[in-house]
Structure 1
């Protein structure tokens, strides 16, 4: 299971960054603007947090202060790991973290890598995972229309890249396993209880380091996520009262992505509707 677990952890972290992607820009300004952010400003600011691998800041700004406070409580109680648990297959993240942080992770994962990639077709495996994940997103899970349009594009782009990337390079894999194992041990989040004990803010700070490490690993394979996001175009399509629609166009691993994001205004500030929906569902009474 070695190669699958290391791949699962990196893939989930990339999914975290991409699934939380509403827009893109450079570093966030040191001081807030004098006027309230526009819908475009909001999506750019959120993606700036993702480009900076700052999941804590993302969680803070993606929802209203009241919902954020409820999320912190629910996280401590083990009822949610938002925003991480809104991702496809996010339930596997603690298991992947445990495999990476195990004392013998480097040896066992390398052995798994050698077994699985011996005489294996990376292109065929990438194609299978792409088709399976796209079908899951389009047919299952609680995804909005916008998410069902956006996420399959991301998965297909990553699948196309993976089929051509040097993921079967043994020496490169050995370095990747060592890097990710060290990051996982530092995070210290090897099961669901560890996430709850650390709390939302601290867990996201630790996972931010994991995300930054995963980005560096993928860059070593020729996939620079932050560079790709730097070319994103953000266009306001419509704004009617407290509702707005924003179009995002960018290239991911060589594949064009074109999607529309819905936003809503609450207490004078704009929020991505899907992020609010997932967060409010996470803290709703059972």
Structure 2
């Protein structure tokens, strides 16, 4: 994602994926929710529909959503040119994924590699995944952008995902063929013809592409036994507290058959409820971008002043 906020907000967004309640779906079409539970339910309805533009519009107050869209346009002007090497790699990848007979060609190319990798890494893979887990957990612990609660939540999710990753048959030929089919279908639906097209898309178009990519990702995960929809359908939500414009909601859910729980903080703005973490991240990201873009102007003004000293009569 181009906006730092969108990258930084993925943990709160993942938490939003795990929230559900018994409120009407009309909340999803409005900014925020009439209650903390309704705000979270609206986000879930939009995630289930893979409507990412609608998600940001619902998850942020109108002014902050407008800033998000404006910041996207501002950053488009600062995109660095792609190197010839990266451009060639992009073109080659898109051609392989979208050409006629791509499924058969890619699987024929992948099949011997899978057999070789299975012989070489089958016994080592659980250990390698454990090493990766340690590195990720260390990164989470050292992160300055995550609260202690968020770090605990991330660790709990990893504790479930790591055993799944260690025991998943990644080298299974039949599953690999299914995965290739999903990748090819998704690439064709994305309809990306060039890196310039990808880098020049406006906010609405990009969110639509994210929707297509998200749907493909869910299908890939399901092939290997991780159903996002099953997790969403397992959610139970319980209000914990609400006073002075702040609320806490407890969320119980099942991930890969393991019960987990999180607590989500919400804040009331102009009578509507929003995720406190997501709102804070959005505003901090906007402020950083505004400050970063004001630096060149300030530097230019200072340089001009120094080159034109004031003379006294």
Counterpart in the other structure of 2:286: 283
Question: Which of residues 239, 264, 269 is equivalent to 1:236?
Answer: 239
By how many angstroms is 1:119 displaced? 2.1
1:26-58, CA deviations, whole angstroms, 9 ceiling, x for partnerless residues? 896257799x62111111221222223222221
Counterpart in the other structure of 2:47: 50
> Partners of 2:150 and 2:192 in 1: how far apart?
28
Question: Which of residues 245, 251, 268 is equivalent to 1:265?
Answer: 268
Counterpart in the other structure of 1:254: 257
Q: How does 1:8-23 map to 2 (within 5 A)?
A: 18-21=14-17, 23=19
Q: How many corresponding residue pairs? A: 258
Q: How does 1:148-227 map to 2 (within 5 A)?
A: 148-188=151-191, 194=197, 196-227=199-230
By how many angstroms is 1:197 displaced? 1.9
Larger Rg: 2
Counterpart in the other structure of 1:73: 70
> Partners of 1:129 and 1:99 in 2: how far apart?
31
Decide whether aligned partners of structure 1 residues 29 and 184 sit closer, same or farther in structure 2, where only a CA change above 3 A counts: same
**Paired residues of 1:239 and 1:245 also in contact (CA < 8 A):** yes
> Partners of 2:251 and 2:193 in 1: how far apart?
35
**Paired residues of 1:126 and 1:163 also in contact (CA < 8 A):** yes
Q: What stretches of structure 2 of length at least 5 have no aligned partner? A: 1-9, 78-85, 98-105, 293-313
> Partners of 2:285 and 2:28 in 1: how far apart?
29
TM-score for the superposition, normalised by structure 2 = 0.70
Decide whether aligned partners of structure 1 residues 198 and 255 sit closer, same or farther in structure 2, where only a CA change above 3 A counts: same
Alpha-carbon RMSD across the aligned residues, in angstroms, is 3.5
> Partners of 2:258 and 2:63 in 1: how far apart?
38
Question: Which of residues 125, 135, 139 is equivalent to 2:142?
Answer: 139
Decide whether aligned partners of structure 1 residues 158 and 54 sit closer, same or farther in structure 2, where only a CA change above 3 A counts: farther
> Partners of 2:215 and 2:234 in 1: how far apart?
19
- Please give the secondary structure, in 2, of the residue aligned with 1:103: helix
> Partners of 1:52 and 1:27 in 2: how far apart?
16
- Please give the secondary structure, in 1, of the residue aligned with 2:95: coil
Counterpart in the other structure of 2:25: 29
- Please give the secondary structure, in 1, of the residue aligned with 2:202: helix
TM-score for the superposition, normalised by structure 1 = 0.76
Q: Which moved more, 1:112-121 or 1:245-254?
A: 112-121
